[in-house]
Amino acid sequence: MSEKHEDLGLKAVARVRGVREQASRHALELTVAELQRRQRRVAELTERLASAPAVAEGTPAEVLTARLGASNLGIVIRETKDAVADSQTLVDLDRQVWERDKARLAAVEHLLERRRERRRAERARREARELDDIASQRWLRAREAGEIA
């Protein structure tokens, strides 16, 4: 079989696994970006809450409005932190999928490389045998011709 046609099936598997690895890596990148976006949002909201003026004086309506605003902001921060936790879980799962796909691709690529090395070694053995045969034939011819005692 020619070198070009060897391992066609395994090369097809490698292509499919390569596409899966790229897709899972892209999915991981998207979930990491979403996690970072949510983390920035928590930081922004926390900063906003920290920088909100403490209203201890004023009309009861103003104090109540300020406290409700702070309470609502706290609720939004808590919900956003929950979303961050959910995003972290997705990142962890996507990382596991990507690492699995990456390992599977590496296994196929390693197998292909081992097969190439085996073929190279076999070719080298064949060439060495051929060269040995040629050298033996030359020696025999030289001996028969009386050139070698």
Domains of the chain, start order: 7-144 (1.10.287)
CB 52 within 8 A of CB 69: yes
Which of 62-76, 84-98, 110-124, 127-141 is least confident?
62-76
Res 105: pLDDT: 96
Contacts of 57 (CB under 8 A, 6+ apart): 63
Q: What is the mean pLDDT of residues 72-83?
A: 95
Q: Is there a contact between 28 and 95 (Cβ–Cβ < 8 Å)?
A: yes
Q: Would you say the pTM of this structure is higher than 0.95?
A: no
- Cα-trace Rg, the chain: 35
Q: How many angstroms separate the CA atoms of 36 and 140, rounded?
A: 78
The answer to whether residues 35 and 87 touch, using CB atoms and an 8 Å cutoff, is yes
Q: How far apart (Å, rounded) are the C-alpha atoms in residues 32 and 38?
A: 10
Cα separation, 83 vs 95, whole angstroms:
18
Give alpha helix (H) positions in 52-146: 60-144
Say which residue, 147 or 17, is predicted with more confidence. 17
What pLDDT, in 10s, does the model give residues 40-58? 999 999 999 888 777 777 7
Distance CA 8, CA 17 (A): 14
Closest CA to 111 of 35, 10, 41, 19: 10
